Chains A and B, each alone.
Chain A
Amino acid sequence: QVQLQQWGAGLLKPSETLSLTCAVFGGSFSGYYWTWIRQAPGKGLEWVGDINHSGSTNYSPSLKSRVTISVDTSKNQFSLYLSAVTAADTAVYYCARGLGSTEATMGYWGQGTLVTVSS
């Protein structure tokens, strides 16, 4: 049974860097896409970006200048970094694993982390 558990700071000040990590339990770590999605309060879902097991990344153009996704295969973890956050980055951030080897079909999700950006 694949489970994703995520953690990271929940309260940031403007201009700080958001840092979230997602640990994967059960199943292989290789051969999949690992994705971050966010959801602003009361809003819909926004794809942030993904990474595959070999470290190849794909980012949302609207966030590309500020976002980095990395993977640590030795720990079965992947991480999201978003620099220079503003109030507009306040959202619940979800990590997810792809279904099979297909990119962007998120079959398994973490529990979500609310990140609030406020001075």
Chain B
Amino acid sequence: DIQMTQSPSSVSASVGDRVTITCRASQYISSYLNWYQQKPGKAPKLLIFAVSNLHGGVPSTFSGSGSGTDFTLTISSLQPEDFATYYCQQSYSAPFTFGPGTKVDVK
């Protein structure tokens, strides 16, 4: 199985801050990397697919980059609705594993 790691596990930030989350795969996954946002008690939502493609309705303050094994999710200016947990996920090979999540909370 491909193991996904994320750092940091949590980050405290303020509205307007730039937030960067890193995701690393245990082996090569090309560009098969997705990011999801989950708020408490809610289903996850797809934010970014294939490293850098924003899903419909996702604001341009979100961006993704990387390739191979190392990937980054950046929120350029944190908004109140962005406080949530973020998961990366590889869609390269089954089982399609998720990272452990990064919680973005209020500083």
A: residues with CB less than 8 A from B are: 37, 44-47, 58, 60-62, 94, 99, 102-107, 109-112
Contacts and interface: CB of A to CB of B under 8 A. Distances in A.
Interface of B: 1, 34, 36, 38, 42-46, 49-50, 55, 87, 89, 91, 94-101
Contacts of B42: 112
Contacts, number: 58
| Most chain A beta-carbon contacts within 10 A, residue among B43, B44, B46, B94 | B43
B95 A61 contact: yes
A7 to B, nearest CB: 15
B89 A103 contact: no
Q: Is the interface of B mostly helix, strand, loop or mixed?
A: loop
Contacts of B87: 44-45
A58 B94 CA distance: 8
A105 to B, nearest CB: 5
Contacts of A94: 43-44
A104 B94 contact: yes
A105 B98 contact: no
Contacts of B100: 44
Contacts of B101: 44-45
A45 B98 contact: yes
